[in-house]
Structure 1
Amino acid sequence: MSNVSGLFKDLTTIKKARNGRLASWDQRGKNQDYWEIPAGESITLGEIEGPGCITHIWMTSSCRRVKSPSILDPKLNASAAPVMEIHPALGVIWDDYDPFYYRKALIKITWDDQDTPSVLAPFGDFFCIGNCYPGNFSSLPFNVSLKPEEAGRYGAPCSVSCYFPMPFNKKAKIEIINENDIPFILYFNIDYEMYKEPLDENTAYFHASWHRENPCDGWGPDIQVNSPEVNNVTNLKGDGNYVVLDVEGTGHYVGCNLTVKHYQGSWWGEGNDMFFIDGEEYPSLNGTGTEDYFNHAWGMQRNAFPFFGTIVHEGDTDGFQVSYRFHITDPVRFEKHLKVTIEHGHANHLSDDWSSTAYWYQTLPTAQPIEILPVEERLPNVPKLPERKLTQPELTEEMKAARSSYEERWNVYKPAREEQFRIKEDKARRESRLNTEFAKKLRDDYK
């Protein structure tokens, strides 16, 4: 046995494994290296036969609704790289980006022969994109890379990565469920290892689930935070706390991301974290404040570190904060049951909008089916501009002709563009099958 220790000690040991990858690369040898995920459909990115372990997931995406007839040929432009969809040139193309598609799509991962997924979360929130509002950050298990000109936008395209190891003994199935009414573009690389020997029976499987309370059930949102009336209310058993995770089984909790939309205009983070392990009546792990749980103090700071930090700061938004805390070196272990909770304001007096993604490992089978809110209850609350009431002036003959020509061109352009979407959706369905077939060939060759 090696005496080498440290975070990267596995790099010093030769192991018997074979690498594989599921990817959206154009298997025709062309350069359409992305899939068009159809509206209202679930697409399997691939199935991998075990034993094995997913070691890295990288993705980038974009979602837009066609608003006008572009001056570019719809068929020729469909064969070009989709950069116009990321940076619509002024007057060349007009696509209206769906600001909330990060919550309209789900990521779903099922391990072995289970009939229930172990990972089920909104696509964006799984990768720490809270409220569909990406922010640049780098932690040990997750990172988001956002172009500067895309910052500060709901639904902004970016790249995302996950480095949590995800072992499986029999099979891994990764799906994207698009509950939107329009398709979206997805590039992806899912790297994994294959092993010849079965995994140890004590192997813990990766899990992730999303939760939201909108609003949290507060008893005094009209009473100022940190006022003596609030601070003298007791809460020893965590009654009414926001629940990050409530799970049965044997395993360990490894962290979460949390999005809080605050409405009082004061301070949202005065609530304590409380962990209830294996059915205890009183929490054995008690915190001192929400910002303290995320390893900040005196409010939230603008930083992003390997295990904790801010992704989006409330001072840079319309009043919401996205934070993360990963228990990589200090996992919270449980043998029968774990309940992770946080007060929404001291003694739960605030009525804010909270949402979170919890990450944990546990042995199979997954004891409780993971549930998800319907799409309409996942959408973020955002400010809305008042509706504009426009009146049209009297049109000249040239103006009438221009409008008529525009409508005629739209009637030709729109179905042509839609046809290209359908072609790319069929490509995604076809390459979904090819990904699974290719993964099986790799597996068969390595047995």
Structure 2
Amino acid sequence: MLNHISKIQPGIKTKRISSYDRSGGNADFISIPAGETADLAVIAGAGIVKHIWITVNAPDKFIRRNAVIRMYWDGETEPSVESPMGDFFGQGFGEEYNFASLPLAAAPVNGKAFNCYFPMPFGDGARITIENQSAEPITNFYYYIDFEQHPEIPASEGRFHAWWNREITGVHPQEGETEWGVVAPQGKNPTTEHNYVFANIVGSGQFVGINYYVDNPGPMWYGEGDDMWLIDGEDWPGSLHGTGTEDFFNSSWCPNEVYAHPYFGYAKVPNKLGWMGRTHCYRFFLEDPIRFEKSLHASIEHGHDNSLTLDLSTVAYWYQSEPHHPFPALPAKEERANMPEVGVVDVHRWRHAWRNANGSKPTLWGNEK
């Protein structure tokens, strides 16, 4: 990541494109009308984007999901980066909160300042855009894009990619939601068939990180799912096979506390019953990238044997040779909305149904089987 900053390299020029007021005044922002796309940077030649900083002011409180960031390298027409803006920088669910890691951050005040330090090389031009898919304008959009101009960047330098995915996972096992075997004995899962897929890449490169956003409608621990990596077309169980979601995120024993390491952590956790609600986990493979030469299929169970209904969304980050396969169509903004929050009244209704199913005895406590 540091890229030998002590090395003197003639011929490299440091540049910036920003939203500064061209008149010399203090209106250092652009506005992006509803439904329009703004070119933040269109850069000719070869170079490396070194840092991106963004902050926005908009009447749409869900603008972090309703604005989409895209990046194109070397004149390509299909983006190498496509994600809702907030999710890309490490703020899930369209919410505002602080997030700290080495390559990405959402900085104070209250996570309103987005930062990205992933180096992004290009050999023949770069374009970075924001599409405002909101019904309202982005009133104030401030940004820096810091980059280097190089005499050349070889094609062997992998190009940066990021892809957002989202799925409301269905319960696969016939016995239903039975994490920890609470309801019934759990089955085995010798396949990736029903897993949540967060990367499906064709080409040569290395996987370097994931932001993982999970909204859990129930109080049961969401994280018994194993991560599974199939490299270069290999069969299950693959070269890398995990032991549980919290293990994949370098933690242990069902954590539910905010923790920030440069490479991994929990930027957001719920304060409800058990693990009910919205959690943001992250893991960056900066010292231990996952390398592939032909393809990479990366997935994770949603509960052991895919036994839980969850709202999962992720941004995967990797470098690869071009060309890349085009991403699936980004879901429309209506399909990116959060699921309704499950709260106290919902839990009380569950209890009421349970009481009725158990004869409505006046002294039923809640732990009777």
**Aligned partner letter, 1:173:** R
User: Aligned to 2:78, which of 111, 116, 122?
Assistant: 116
Partner of residue 100, structure 2? 138
Q: Name the residue aligned to 2:321.
A: 363
CA RMSD of aligned residues (A): 2.0
Match of 1:161 among 103, 106, 115: 115
The CA distance in 1 between the partners of 2:175 and 2:74, in whole Å, is 46
| Matched residue, 1:296 | 251
Deviation at 1:320, TM superposition (A): 0.9
CA distance in 2, matches of 1:9, 1:52: 14
Q: Is the 8 A contact 2:259 2:266 kept in 1?
A: yes
Structure 1 residue 200 displacement after superposition: 2.1
Within 5 A, what are the aligned runs for 1:17-416?
A: 17-64=12-59, 98-147=60-109, 150=110, 158-184=112-138, 185-196=140-151, 198-219=152-173, 222-227=176-181, 232-282=186-236, 283-300=238-255, 301-315=257-271, 319-383=277-341
CA deviation vs aligned residue, 1:320-377 (integer Å, no higher than 9, x gap): 1001000001111111110110000001011110000000000111233453111110
Return the letter of the residue paired with 1:289.
G
Opposite residue 10 of structure 1, the aligned amino acid is H
> 1:89-144: per-residue Cα shift (whole Å, max 9, x none)?
xxxxxxxxx23111111001111121111000001100011101232121110111
Could you tell me whether the CA contact under 8 Å between 2:220 and 2:276 is conserved in 1? no
2:184 and 2:262 map into 1 onto residues whose CA distance is 35
Distance 1:39 1:115, change over 3 A: same
CA displacement at 1:34 relative to structure 2: 1.0
Q: Which residue number in structure 2 is paired with residue 80 of structure 1?
A: none
Instruction: Give distance in 2, aligned partners of 1:172 and 1:186.
Output: 20
Q: Distance in 2 between the 1:140 and 1:12 partners?
A: 19
Deviation string, structure 1 residues 387-416 (Cα, Å, up to 9, x no partner):
xxxxxxxxxxxxxxxxxxxxxxxxxxxxxx
CA distance in structure 2 between the partners assigned to 1:281 and 1:229 by the alignment: 31
Distance 1:224 1:280 in 2: 30
Q: Secondary structure at the match of 2:341?
A: coil
Task: Determine the C-alpha separation between the residues in 2 that align with 1:230 and 1:61.
Answer: 49
Deviation of the 1:223 alpha carbon: 3.2
CA distance, structure 2, for counterparts of residue 268 and residue 161 of structure 1: 29
CA distance in 1, matches of 2:183, 2:276: 28
**Alignment match, 1:10:** 4
CA offsets 1:231-254 (integer angstroms, 9 cap, x no match): 641112222000010010110110
Equivalent position SS for 1:103: helix
Rounded to whole Å, the distance in 2 between the matches of 1:10 and 1:52 is 16
Normalized against structure 2, the TM-score is what? 0.87
Structure 2 alignment gaps of length 5 or more: 344-369
Is the alpha carbon distance of 1:60 and 1:251 closer, same or farther for their aligned partners in structure 2, counting shifts above 3 Å? same
The one of the two structures with greater contact order (alpha-carbon pairs below 8 A, sep at least 6) is 1
Name the structure where strand makes up a greater proportion of residues: 2
TM (normalized to structure 1)?
A: 0.72
Distance 2:174 2:57 in 1: 41
Unaligned runs of 5+ in 1: 1-6, 65-97, 151-156, 386-447
Q: 1:44 offset after TM fit, Å?
A: 0.5
Give the % identical residues: 38
- Tell me which amino acid in the other structure corresponds to 1:138: A
* Structure 2 contact 216–276 (Cα < 8 Å) conserved: no
Contact 1:59 1:189 in 2 (8 A): yes
Q: Are 1:41 and 1:179, in contact at CA under 8 Å, matched by a contact in 2?
A: yes
1:50 is displaced (CA, Å) by 2.1
Q: Deviation per CA, 1:190-228: give whole Å up to 9, x if none.
A: 0000012x2123110000010000244543685332117
